[in-house]
A and B are shown apart, each in its own frame.
Chain A
Amino acid sequence: MKPRLAVWKFSSCDGCQLTLLDCEDELLDIAEAVEIAYFLEATRTTRAGPYDVSLVEGSISTADEMERIQQIRRDSRILITIGACATAGGIQALRNSRDHDALRASVYPSPQFIEALATSTPIADHVTVDFELRGCPIDKGQLLEAITALLKGRKPAIPDYSQCTECKLAGTACVMVTKGIPCLGPVTQGGCGNLCPQVGRGCYGCFGPKENANTGALVAEMAALGADRRTIRDLFGGFTASAPAFAAERERHDG
Chain B
Amino acid sequence: MDRAAAEPVDRSIVIPAESLDTLIGALRDGGYQVWGAQERDGALGLAPLAAAADLPRGRVEAAEAGTVRLTDGPRPAYFDHTLPMQGLKRMVYPARERLYAAGQAMSLEEDPVEAPPIAVLGVRPCDLAALDTLTAVFESGPFVDDRFRQRRAALFLVAVNCMRPAATCFCASMNTGPRAEGGFDLVLDEVMEGDRHVFVVASGSARGRAVLDALAGEEAGQADREAARAGSQACAEAQRRHMPDGVAALLKQSYDDPHWANVAERCLSCANCTLVCPTCFCSTVEDRSSLDGAEAERWRRWDSCFGLDFSYLHGGAVRTETASRYRQWMTHKLSHWHDQFGMSGCVGCGRCIGWCPVGIDITAEAQALAASEQAA
Residues of A within 8 A of B (CB): 26, 29-30, 32-33, 144-145, 147-149, 151-152, 154, 157, 159-162, 164-165, 167-174, 176-180, 183, 185-187, 200, 211-212, 214, 216-218, 220-221
Contacts and interface: CB of A to CB of B under 8 A. Distances in A.
Contacts of B275: 164-165, 168-169
Contacts of A186: 268, 270, 272, 357-358
B246 interface: no
Interface stretch (B13-21, B105-113, B118-126, B301-309): B301-309
Contacts of B356: 177
Nearest to A155: B287
Given A171-B90, A212-B308, A214-B322, A162 B270 contact: yes
10 contacts: A164-B272, A165-B304, A167-B272, A169-B301, A174-B272, A178-B41, A178-B43, A187-B268, A211-B308, A217-B265
Contacts of A148: 288-291
Interface string B348-360: 0000001111110
A185 to B, nearest CB: 7
A171 B86 contact: yes
Contacts of B357: 164, 174, 176-177, 183, 185-186, 218, 221
B269 A26 contact: no
Contact of B307 (A145, A165, A179, A214): A165
Contacts of B69: 178-179
Given A177-B354, A178-B41, A218-B357, A29 B292 contact: yes
Interface string B55-96: 000000000001111100000000000000110001000011
Contact of A178 (B42, B304, B321, B359): B42
Nearest to B265: A217
B212 interface: no
A174 B70 CA distance: 13
B341 to A, nearest CB: 23
A217 B272 contact: no
A196 B359 CA distance: 22
A212 B289 CA distance: 30
Nearest to B302: A169
A200 B41 contact: yes
Most buried by B among A174, A187, A216: A174
B314 interface: no
B356 to A, nearest CB: 8
B276 interface: yes
Given A164-B357, A178-B68, A30 B96 contact: no
Contacts of A218: 268, 357-358
A35 B305 CA distance: 41
Interface in B273-298: 275-276, 286-293
Contacts of A178: 41-43, 67-70
Ranked 5 nearest A-B pairs via Cβ: A173-B43, A168-B275, A186-B270, A178-B42, A157-B286
Nearest to B39: A173
A154 B308 CA distance: 20
Nearest to A164: B270
Interface string B248-274: 000000000000000001111111100
A212 B85 contact: no
Interface in B319-342: 320-322
Given A174-B355, A177-B67, A214 B301 contact: no
B196 interface: no
Nearest to B292: A33
Contacts of A157: 286-288, 299
B45 interface: yes
B42 A179 contact: yes
A183 to B, nearest CB: 7
A29 B276 CA distance: 39
Contacts of B268: 162, 164, 186-187, 214, 217-218
Contacts of B85: 171, 173-174
Given A151-B291, A186-B270, A214-B267, 18 more contacts: A32-B291, A32-B292, A148-B290, A152-B293, A157-B287, A160-B307, A160-B308, A161-B271, A162-B271, A168-B271, A172-B41, A173-B41, A178-B68, A187-B270, A214-B265, A217-B267, A220-B358, A221-B359
Contacts of A164: 268, 270-272, 275, 357
Contacts of A165: 270-271, 275, 304, 307
A30 B289 CA distance: 13
